[in-house]
Amino acid sequence: MVKIADIELGEFPLLLAPMEDVSDPPFRAVCKKYGADLMYTEFISSEGLIRDAAKSTMKLDIFEYERPVGIQIFGADIGPMREAAAIAEQAGPDIIDINYGCPVKQVALKGAGAGILQNIPKMVEMTKEIVNTCSLPVTVKTRLGWDDGSRHIVEVAERLQDVGIAAISIHGRTRAQMYKGDADWSLIAAVKNNPRMNIPVFGNGDIDTPEKTVEYRERFGVDGIMIGRASIGSPWIFNEIKHFMASGEHLAPPNMKERIAAASMHFEGSLTWKGDRLGIVEMRRHYANYFKGIPDFKKHRLDLVTFDNVEDIRAKLLLIADLFKDHDFSR
């Protein structure tokens, strides 16, 4: 049984990665339905929380059906991060997570996210301060290093454990790689196999099939897998992986009725949580993946990403369900 502090996650948990503009409550609800064992919020700016900025505080919304769920925060300065952790804890999550992995310029070049990988002593000190501030377990998501010359994750993970983190998730690329090239899981395995490590080590990067999950579990020995981009528009990937791990057989892909049900659940949740306008706009990034591989679908996808009226989108989803009800997704 893999545990983060006292939180039981199963024998080989599947985690939903925190993804900006993706891992919101409506998306998390669908992923939970389809088997995610632990989920994290979108990353939340420490400065935004301290200023009580609406966009940041809205991301603190969590719901009972999501548990266990972690709130992830990011920032470049220790004081604001400590204060943000205390604010996040008041929202009632199960875990506080620190983002030391975001590679985008507007975050990393300000010393936050993966940017702190250029200053490991500060990273350790910040982590220690947050652990000491929180009564909840604190976890970390990070990368192998800043660039190929600083892939010090084995030492870094050990130092973070020493100041009290309860688990670590590692993306198998450096900041310099962004999302290019293949993720290097050998260093994730080196962290897991370090005899001094006694906290769960979760691997992240390039996991997009049940076969790869099983292969990486056996090759690299991680305690669980964190899945990000492969879940967008395909939240059933969690159940597909679990079924394959248990039986060695593939779960039948969801048919059109099931895809429409998932997309509609996601859409209605977006409307409820964000309001009609924002709910419509932010849902658009998901449709292509919900209906991936359907021939002659371009016009329908265009309608879904351009319609501005809730009823028009609902009607379009019903029409798609009828027009493509016999499409074989197993091909």
Contact 212, 206 (CB under 8 A): yes
Choice among 96, 102, 116, 283 that is catalytic:
102
31 among known catalytic residues: no
Give buried/exposed letters for 181-195 (b at 16+ CB in 10 A, else e): eebbbebbbbbbeee
How far apart are alpha carbons 39 and 68 in whole angstroms? Answer: 7
The neighbour count for residue 51, using CB atoms within 10 Å, is: 12
R_g of the chain computed on alpha carbons: 20
How many residues appear in the chain?
331
How far apart are alpha carbons 87 and 51 in whole angstroms? Answer: 11
Residue 25 exposed, middle or buried by CB count within 10 Å (0-12, 13-18, 19+)? buried
Contact 157, 189 (CB under 8 A): no
DSSP assignments along 118-185, one per residue: G-HHHHHHHHHHHHHH-SS-EEEEEES-SSGGG--HHHHHHHHHHTT-SEEEEESS-TTTTT-S----
Catalytic residues: 102
